[in-house]
Amino acid sequence: MCGIVALIGSREAGPQLLEGLRQLEYRGYDSAGIATVDPDGLHCLKAEGKLVNLIARFEAEGAPGHCGIGHTRWATHGKPEERNAHPHLDGSGQLAVVQNGIIENHRPLREGLQAEGVRFLSDTDTEVIPHLVARRLAHQETLGAKPSPALLLQAVREVLPGLHGAYALAVVWSRVPGALVVARRQAPLLIGLGEGEFLCASDTPALAGFTRTILPMEDGEVALLTPLGIELYNASGERVQRTPSLLTGTEHMADKRSFRHFMLKEIHEQPETAALWVARHLPEDALVALPLDESVYAGVENIQILACGTSRHASQVGAHLLEQLAGVPTNVFYASEFRYAPPPLRPHTLTIGVTQSGETADTLAALAMERERSQGLADPAFAPRLLGITNRPESSLGRLVPHVLDIGAGIEVGVAATKTFLGQLLAFYGLALAFAERRQGQPGVPDLASLRRLSSQLRGLPAVLRELVEDHDARCAELAHLFAETRDVIFLGRGINYPIAMEGALKLKEISYIHAEGYPAGEMKHGPIALLDSRVPVVSIAVPGMVFDKVLSNAQEAKARDAQLVGVAPACPDSELFDLLLPLPPVEELLSPLLTVIPMQLLSYHIAAHRGLDVDQPRNLAKSVTVE
């Protein structure tokens, strides 16, 4: 949550900071601000609402200086109002701080400062930081220290150990306009190295237009940036040198092309996501080829998957595949719940963290806890074995776990995950095939011939998806007006398509603000059926296979209560029961989630777009949730 940028160099900082914030707006967009420093002092501008409001202020008022910091906010402490927008200043107005994360002990810190007479202007947790740093600076100055970059660095380093929680932060001080101090603990921060200038940001899109040379900061590191160079210190306070890495490809740039919204563009990119996955991991001469070490598979007896939101729905499909195709008992947990009620440790367990952003605090914390729980045990059967599935291998997840499966979907800007969901599904198909290949002969594992058939059907997926996306885009656009007054929608699915019903409901809720429930179709009659009447549409996913007849019967039960039935099903005599049909091509049930999710995404998209809503930046949400 929240995006931060910081720049120091030879050109005007303001425009570059605003461009960086534009690239990070997906991380939060309820207010934004920048602070620059020049020999005349500190210039701070803030605005409530979207970034355009801040840009308008900058154009009217300006903010000179070659060094500055910026922030786009997703509110945690304090309402989304201008006074709570970052940067936050010390009492003298000379020192400014932006922060992404949560300072968990901000309350006692604030009370202590208030007791000393400090006046707070915001309700945020962050505001304690400028006051604490200013206090350290004042103390050093009473001992004779002169304002200098080193003094600013020292003051920040003295304050950091007293902050509890996760943070990435940047600090400027108008008394040393040629210095910038940045630090991170459990929240992302990367330094971009330009020519005689440095840009620091929460994520690569803000850096990609500036430089391709990046230095991701490690947990606990602090850096002093001046136009002359970087001084980097590790968590133990030692000076460290590291070789920067290069950003490759164009996937780090956000570009909407001719689409009305990023979300629609990203839905249309899914055939390409699948094509890339197939080209990389499903070569003709092998069942599947994943770039994973054999130690990931060897002797695994159980799998547990930790994830949130849409990633959790992909994981539920994954669990179905790992159990039904590879015969490995698999459990999926809400990462946010796992930490507080973990199951007893089991030997030979593979733990998989699934997060498109690689920055979800709940998922990272659950993985870290799992690593610590098992690390202390003498029995090697309990040795931690962690795998991450992500779209951002360079993220915090990539640094936390030893093995990473990169879904390679390219940057996703729309807050509602679409192509990364498909990428996660494909990762699980690959993983289940890889386990099944290694577990031949074990109970419930299909033989190689059946697995090869599945893998060859997966190779044909991009072409099928291409047609499906085009077709359903047009259909859903035509249907959207029928949902203009809708207040509640029920999504039903069974078996491998139950998570897709959940995903359909989540997509609709988050971008259209229509209340929606995803339910296992057979559970309707145990309660939720009481909600049904002619005003509540029911979207039913019915794919020929093990549960087809059952799902149709459940749909009949809904129809008998006057519900409007929308079918996601093949066009066949059975599907005549639906009032509206979003037709599917013939597909094997086990592969069907890769197709059934498309009408879910497009229906939600067009309903929200028809209502004139901000599809890419829905209210109250952010793309990467870096707070617990």
Active centre residues (catalytic): 2, 623
User: Considering beta carbons, is residue 16 or 363 the nearer one to ligand F6R?
Assistant: 363
Q: Please, what is the minimum distance in Å from the beta carbon of residue 25 to ligand F6R?
A: 16
* Residues 117/25, Cβ–Cβ less than 8 Å: no
Q: Please, what is the minimum distance in Å from the beta carbon of residue 622 to ligand F6R?
A: 8
Q: Please, what is the minimum distance in Å from the beta carbon of residue 500 to ligand F6R?
A: 13
User: Considering beta carbons, is residue 21 or 615 the nearer one to ligand F6R?
Assistant: 615
Q: Please, what is the minimum distance in Å from the beta carbon of residue 338 to ligand F6R?
A: 13
User: Considering beta carbons, is residue 221 or 266 the nearer one to ligand F6R?
Assistant: 266
Q: Please, what is the minimum distance in Å from the beta carbon of residue 483 to ligand F6R?
A: 19
Paired sense of beta strands 330-334 and 349-354, if any: unpaired
Q: Please, what is the minimum distance in Å from the beta carbon of residue 129 to ligand F6R?
A: 26
Q: Please, what is the minimum distance in Å from the beta carbon of residue 360 to ligand F6R?
A: 3
Long-range contacts of 181-185 (CB under 8 A, 24+ apart): 181/152, 181/153, 181/156, 181/222, 181/223, 181/224, 181/225, 182/6, 182/217, 182/222, 182/223, 182/225, 183/156, 183/221, 183/222, 183/223, 184/217, 184/219, 184/220, 184/221, 185/101, 185/160, 185/219, 185/220
Question: What is the CA 428 to chain-centroid distance, rounded?
Answer: 18
* Residues 297/435, Cβ–Cβ less than 8 Å: yes
Q: What end-to-end distance do the CA atoms of the chain give, in Å?
A: 10
Q: Extract the tokens encoding 477.
A: 């656009």
Give CA separation, 39 vs 26, 65, 98, 176, 177, in Å. 33, 8, 21, 8, 7
User: Considering beta carbons, is residue 134 or 367 the nearer one to ligand F6R?
Assistant: 367
Q: Please, what is the minimum distance in Å from the beta carbon of residue 413 to ligand F6R?
A: 12
Give the bridge partners for 245, in sequence order: 214
Degrees, nearest 5: CA angle 229-232-233: 155
User: Considering beta carbons, is residue 360 or 575 the nearer one to ligand F6R?
Assistant: 360
User: Considering beta carbons, is residue 168 or 183 the nearer one to ligand F6R?
Assistant: 168
Q: Extract the tokens encoding 241.
A: 């040198």
* Residues 308/417, Cβ–Cβ less than 8 Å: no
User: Considering beta carbons, is residue 110 or 261 the nearer one to ligand F6R?
Assistant: 261
Q: Please, what is the minimum distance in Å from the beta carbon of residue 320 to ligand F6R?
A: 18
User: Considering beta carbons, is residue 76 or 455 the nearer one to ligand F6R?
Assistant: 76
User: Considering beta carbons, is residue 87 or 599 the nearer one to ligand F6R?
Assistant: 599
State the SS3 of 175-202: CCCCCEEEEEEECCCEEEECCCCEEEEC
For residue 155, count CB atoms less than 10 angstroms from its CB and return exposed for 0-12, middle for 13-18, buried for 19 or more. buried
> How big is the chain, counted in residues?
628
| Nearest residue relative to ligand F6R (C-beta) | 309
| Residue 239: partners with Cβ closer than 8 Å, 6 or more residues away | 231, 232, 233
Radius of gyration of the chain (CA): 26
DSSP string, 362-424: HHHHHHHHHHHHHHT-S-GGG---EEEEES-TTSHHHHHSSEEEE-------SSS--HHHHHH
- How many angstroms separate the CA atoms of 324 and 496, rounded? 10
Orientation angle between helical segments 106-115 and 128-142, nearest 10 degrees: 50
User: Considering beta carbons, is residue 30 or 510 the nearer one to ligand F6R?
Assistant: 510
CA torsion through residues 467, 542, 433, 503, sign: positive
Q: Please, what is the minimum distance in Å from the beta carbon of residue 130 to ligand F6R?
A: 30
**b/e per residue 488-525 (b: at least 16 CB within 10 A):** ebbbbbbbbbbbbbbbbbbbbbbbbebebbbbbbbebe
Query: Which stretches of the chain bind ligand F6R, using CB under 6 A?
Result: 308-311, 355-357, 360, 363, 416-417, 506, 510, 624-625
